Chains A and B, each alone.
Chain A
């Protein structure tokens, strides 16, 4: 489908272009994250769900069509019952079935399912919506949520250190650092998009989001390594005849079809999950889809450009000697 072998692709020459493009992809997200950290009461860069803040979510399924006005009515009714600070969300079934049901999800402070509050909420919802039925109850206590936060951070750190160690062992430290830069680039992009989605569409991140981020990390490095592997191989055969930049360009050309095709297959599989799978894992799948796209971009353009940039600087004084 994509064959760049003939026209050639100059990653190294258009360095500035790729830097600008990367900046364009990442900066809005960073701005959104900083804005979120200032404005959110939790001071988190993303809108975090109960996994991280503690609280309870009651999900009801209803055959009624739920509008925004309905949601307000529910909120007022709940406030009257003494249940304040609820956050109500409507999840619509997108499968297009005519008998599709809406899901009303109500988030409150941490309560027990058997508690009076839970009973009151159910009563309010059942009286307002047709055939409303409690289908899911999730509750996370405050001790657990703060622990999850700490664990998430450790997991990210350990993953990054592990990857640095592995690539340094198999390649060189410089490759490892470039790959990590690409990885941070990808994670910032995905987090940035979710931060913007949090501000615009109230999308919250949960424990599964961390899983998605870590998968994105694995995937991003996976793609980058394939390109680096080719650079290493070409360097071995042609290191004396070609400049590092030329080798990078050639390697990218040789691996780009594979990178794009692999992303296509992964993306297709994820897209099927996104459109036809359950509502619960939709954001999780979205995060991974974004990660696959950005991971492919960064492994082709960003990381290759970076390793060349670094190598060129490191080798600059020596080059005449090699060529001569």
Chain B
């Protein structure tokens, strides 16, 4: 009995710690609940980069992180998924168009020089368009970029080259005096000004050509140039944007559904098992508290699928109790005394509880390693749920059963949802002496 009282206080301490954790730590809600965008990018190989290496990925991730930070939204995450994918999560914004435009651009700035024909004039292709070739100067040679306006009142992007870039740019402009030089951004020609004099000093200015830049266009270009070009182009392969209103409704509905679900399960347990049912319900509340506290400690992000997993685990958490109580009832029907019935109820049900939960844990592990991120969330919540339920449904319930019922006689079979005439009626298979000792049967 002394051990049981110690155990009881240990359980109380765990519950208090759980309540404290739940109170102190914020809940992390998934994007499907708060609203926001999830975008999956896949790095694409190019002729110059035929293979995506971990180094390419980390550079890509840094560049994307820089860009996402430019959006000015807090709690964004950029995480690598698999070998060549990045998962970007931006909470709160429904208008993900801007995010998408920023993410999709490679931000490859390139300077090109004309290809000359035999007469020293720029070559034209069959369509009558001038032909350009790379001038060996790109966005990688930049040190900084910023926004300003020129004398004509147009928006311009000012470039500042690094030492190497400044030298190359100086040589290029001195070579091209009197000729045009084209500036390409992500494959589009922005402008092709004619060079009037060599430009040394490492500074240049891009205006938007004849049509000019809109302030937004110029600003975005500056942002992208500052964040750095992507080492390889990347495609959006999956996208999910949830509006904040839908998220709010989902939270409300899920909360309500969970409360109803838990309520129904608790009611059912009381109807079926009377006093032990109430004990199972208390264990279920303990289960909910510990589980929720663990979610917060591990930083589990609560998603819709996660909530479904949680509610499912509520239904399954009482399974162990049902197994135990059914077994205890059986032992009581067989005329065993109360203490023995409770003990052997627990001991004999344990093999079933262990084996049956192991298979569910097995599928959880498989889901976790093979599933998509949504599926992972579900598997993780179910997994933690099973482990906690093993503790609450077995240890907590057993402890309370012993403390409440003690070792006395069962005077009121109704407490177990049994009828008086049922006691001692059922026949029980005979055990050997060793087995009797194992299950603590004293007769």
Contact = CB atoms under 8 A, between A and B. Distances in A.
B191 to A, nearest CB: 25
Given A214-B366, A218-B359, A229-B351, A208 B236 contact: no
B404 interface: no
B312 A266 contact: yes
Interface in A143-188: 143-144, 148, 151, 154-155, 158-159, 162-163, 166-167, 170
Interface string A102-140: 000000000011100000000000000000011111111
A225 B243 contact: no
Interface residues of A, number: 76
A99 to B, nearest CB: 11
Contacts of B129: none
B362 A159 contact: yes
Nearest to A134: B243
A258 B322 contact: yes
A222 B356 contact: yes
Contact of B236 (A112, A226, A257, A281): A112
Interface stretch (B12-20, B217-225, B265-273): B265-273
Interface string B216-257: 000000000000000000011111111101100110011011
Task: Output the residue of B235, B262, B272, B348 with the most chain A CB within 10 A.
Answer: B272
A139 B375 CA distance: 17
A27 to B, nearest CB: 27
Nearest to A280: B304
A217 interface: yes
Nearest to B96: A113
B239 A137 contact: yes
B359 A166 contact: yes
A207 B374 contact: yes
B344 to A, nearest CB: 12
Contacts of B363: 159, 162-163, 214-215, 217-218
A215 B366 contact: no
Contact of B426 (A5, A133, A272): A5
B49 interface: no
B261 A158 contact: no
Interface stretch (A30-38, A75-83, A233-241, A315-323): A233-241
B78 to A, nearest CB: 18
B254 A265 contact: no
Given A162-B366, A272-B311, A133 B243 contact: yes
Given A159-B362, A163-B359, A254-B330, A226 B352 contact: yes
B257 A276 contact: yes
B253 A95 contact: yes
Interface residues of B, number: 78
Interface in B370-405: 370-372, 374-375, 378-379, 382
Contacts of A144: 40, 237-238
B357 A222 contact: yes
Contacts of B431: 237
A207 to B, nearest CB: 5
Given A208-B374, A268-B268, A113 B100 contact: yes
A61 B245 contact: yes
Contact of B253 (A170, A262, A270, A276): A276
Interface in A48-67: 56, 59, 61
Nearest to B376: A211
A23 interface: no
For the residues of B in contact with A, the DSSP-based class is helix
A187 B330 CA distance: 33
B315 interface: yes
Interface string A243-277: 00000000000110110011011111111110111
B360 A219 contact: yes
B211 to A, nearest CB: 20
A280 B246 CA distance: 10
Contacts of A281: 304-305, 308
Contacts of B104: 112
B367 A135 contact: no
A222 B323 CA distance: 12
A112 B316 CA distance: 41
Contacts of A151: 370-372
A284 interface: yes
Contact of B382 (A113, A215, A269): A215
Contact of B366 (A138, A155, A207): A155
A230 B371 CA distance: 34
Contacts of B240: 136-139
A167 B355 CA distance: 8
Contact of B265 (A210, A268, A284): A268
B375 A237 contact: no
A211 B305 contact: yes
A278 B375 contact: no
A208 B311 contact: no
A141 interface: yes
A139 B239 CA distance: 5
A307 interface: no
A258 B328 CA distance: 12
12 contacts: A114-B100, A159-B363, A208-B375, A208-B378, A226-B355, A229-B352, A258-B326, A262-B323, A269-B312, A270-B312, A272-B257, A288-B312
Given A137-B96, A155-B366, A208-B374, 12 more contacts: A113-B100, A137-B241, A139-B236, A139-B240, A141-B236, A158-B366, A167-B359, A258-B323, A266-B319, A271-B264, A277-B253, A278-B254
Interface of B: 32, 40, 42, 94, 96-97, 100-101, 104, 235-243, 245-246, 249-250, 253-254, 256-258, 260-262, 264-265, 268-269, 271-272, 304-305, 307-308, 311-312, 314-316, 318-319, 322-323, 326, 330, 348, 351-352, 355-360, 362-364, 366-367, 370-372, 374-375, 378-379, 382, 426, 429-431, 435
